[in-house]
Structure 1
Amino acid sequence: MAGNIPAVGFHDALSVLVSGHTLLAKPSSDDPLLIRALLARLIEIEPEFKDYIHFVERLNESDAYIATGSDNTARYFHYYFAKKPNIIRKNRTSVAALTGDETRDELRALGTDILQCFGLGCRNVSKVFVPSGYDFTGFYQAIEDMADDYVHHHKYFNNYEYNKSIYLVNRVAHSDNGFLLATESEALVSPISVLHYQPYDSLEELKGSIGQSEEKIQCVVAKPELHLAGSLPFGAAQSPGLSDYADGIDTMTFLSSID
């Protein structure tokens, strides 16, 4: 199971159980307790699940696999699990597209999409596409009330200070509000405490840029009038529903195909 954000593997676990299969779970070392507590609570709600939930150290006896990791570990997963039905997920991240006409509430909600869980999830926005000449002042003003949650979290703030020092030493142009840095970059994934942005001059250019990275993008957050396929409203990136499957792969259809 993945462990980049709390209980991120619960959706897969629940899918396995409600599809009638037995769950052999290997929790991430980064999230060893919460997923166990949630599944224990699930057994309290439905005691019959007890015989279908097993925590294991090795997954050699599984009939099918759902595995999540980095692009590098995914290569090993493909090698080891190639002979069994599998879903193997690689690195993904999420992006937002701005028009420059967003309200303060929309920008505040975007701040949540970026910063919730310290930006560690694949549904966290790590990059925004902005109109050329975009001014980040309004965005920073909209999220200023979030400062206490981050400037007083020493691990997050250490990342912020480190990245800021790198930009200053290397004279990298950036914006800064005291807890979130923004710098122009074509890269999708940004370091913790950093938001990448990329200017665009037309809707066609915007759609082309997003389309080029479609295989690496989990979610797109934008206003409806941009007509970006499958886009979510601001603030919704970290609130997936039961049918919002990671990587767009229907986990229940996959599990239902296994005898």
Structure 2
Amino acid sequence: MTKHIAHVESAVKKWLQPDNFALKKAIDKTVSEGLFSTEDIRYQIRVLKRNVESGQIREWAERSGLKDERSAAGKKVLCLHAGNLPLVGFQTALGVILSGADYYGKLSRKDPYLMQSFLKLAEHELTGSEIQFSTDLNAFRELNADEVIFAGSEDSVEVIKKEIAGIKATRAEAGYHIRTAKYSMVYLDNKDPETMKDFAEAVLRYEGQGCRSVAIVVSPYRLDSFKCEMTDYIELFWMHNPPEGKVSPGVEYQFAFNKAIERSQAWLDHFLIQETDELPKYDRVVNWVPGDEAKVREMVSKAGKQLQSVYTTGNRIEGVETELVSKAQRPDLWWKPDGVDVIRTLINNER
């Protein structure tokens, strides 16, 4: 197992090397087709590179209890990767490969090239288990996978299960690991410069499309008292990461509605921040909720499975598992999407 982990680590490091032409080509193709921005792709790769170079692959394996006698060797795992962020499926693919299971990846057509550049290299470098991938689900017809991992809304779960069953991509008794979290929350209790930079990153990186992106802010400050400082840091972020997306008509309607009822809000052309304790309904909308730590607990309960993570500026909140807001878009490799460690799940047969 020690040798296996070392081989995986070596393959990932090789993929992340600056002279990797295949990765450069994948980046260029992704940008030229307008799938993701250069800034977001480079940011994601820098985060992965820093994690890998600091020894997090080995540490993740140790944290997950990965040992010879509990490896998932021979287990077929079908991964249906999302495409809302560049390389959003990387952690799942890496976890499956580390576990020793056979990896079968249905890549998103929104992010095919970046993942493919890693998987092709891994397929060549790692011979201990099967690695197959395609953007076409039919490529996995009659696979009879033992486990399925995918992210999506609760409304789409039964549809996807039916589609998979229709082509016999899984066994009848296959285990499903479904991720349904949509957004994250921050308890913002100070206005110091580093906190504000981290906050802007947490909200705006990847156009706010990730489940780790902040869509709810709980703060002892009212929105009106925070607007000036917040706008300055948002504009600074956009200076280096120009926004590309536009708000939906629903967001424009929400802005007009807020104005009519005199609700406090900040219109930022590409984002709307509004003072309300309702749950987020639209992309590019952040709900600002005045309140204390008790309000955080209330909003956690209210959001339920839609909520991925809760961030703070350093203080702990009783009864709530939290992370630092500085790690919102820079998670460790072992972070747990929807509270689940993919390696531990596969080696322990957790369902």
How high is the TM-score relative to the length of structure 2?
A: 0.64
1:48 corresponds to which residue? 127
Moved more, 202-211 or 18-27: 202-211
Change (3 A) 1:177 1:67: closer
1:16 corresponds to which residue? 96
1:85 corresponds to which residue? 175
Deviations 1:233-256 (A, max 9, x none): 222111121221210112112211
1: CA distance, partners of 2:195 / 2:221: 20
User: Which amino acid in structure 1 is aligned with residue 132 of structure 2?
Assistant: H
Report deviation, 1:26. Answer: 0.6
- Asked if the contact 2:255/2:267 (under 8 Å) is kept, the reply is no
1:29 corresponds to which residue? 109
Deviations 1:207-245 (A, max 9, x none): 222233242211111122252533222221111212212
Report deviation, 1:112. Answer: 0.4
1: CA distance, partners of 2:301 / 2:254: 31
Deviations 1:99-142 (A, max 9, x none): 2x231220111110111111111011111112253422222223
Q: Which one has the bigger helix percentage? A: 2
User: Which amino acid in structure 2 is aligned with residue 123 of structure 1?
Assistant: R
Moved more, 67-76 or 226-235: 226-235
- Asked if the contact 1:183/1:196 (under 8 Å) is kept, the reply is yes
Unaligned runs of 5+ in 1: none
2: CA distance, partners of 1:206 / 1:23: 38
Change (3 A) 1:160 1:224: same
User: Which amino acid in structure 1 is aligned with residue 120 of structure 2?
Assistant: A
Counting only pairs closer than 5 Å after superposition, residues 1-259 of structure 1 correspond to structure 2 as: 1-43=81-123, 46-48=125-127, 52-56=130-134, 57-58=137-138, 59=140, 60-61=142-143, 62-77=145-160, 80=165, 83-99=173-189, 101-131=190-220, 133-134=222-223, 135-136=225-226, 137-148=228-239, 152-154=242-244, 156=245, 158-159=246-247, 163-164=251-252, 167-168=255-256, 171=259, 173=263, 174-189=265-280, 191-200=282-291, 202-227=292-317, 229-258=320-349
- Asked if the contact 1:130/1:199 (under 8 Å) is kept, the reply is yes
SS in 2 for 1:227: coil
- Asked if the contact 1:107/1:234 (under 8 Å) is kept, the reply is no
Change (3 A) 1:166 1:242: closer
Change (3 A) 1:140 1:53: same
Root-mean-square deviation (Å): 2.7
- Asked if the contact 1:78/1:88 (under 8 Å) is kept, the reply is no
- Asked if the contact 1:71/1:91 (under 8 Å) is kept, the reply is no
SS in 2 for 1:241: coil
Deviations 1:41-64 (A, max 9, x none): 3345x3426x62112433442121
> How many residues are paired up?
251
SS in 2 for 1:210: helix
- Asked if the contact 2:186/2:312 (under 8 Å) is kept, the reply is yes
- Asked if the contact 2:181/2:338 (under 8 Å) is kept, the reply is no
Unaligned runs of 5+ in 2: 1-80
- Asked if the contact 2:275/2:287 (under 8 Å) is kept, the reply is yes
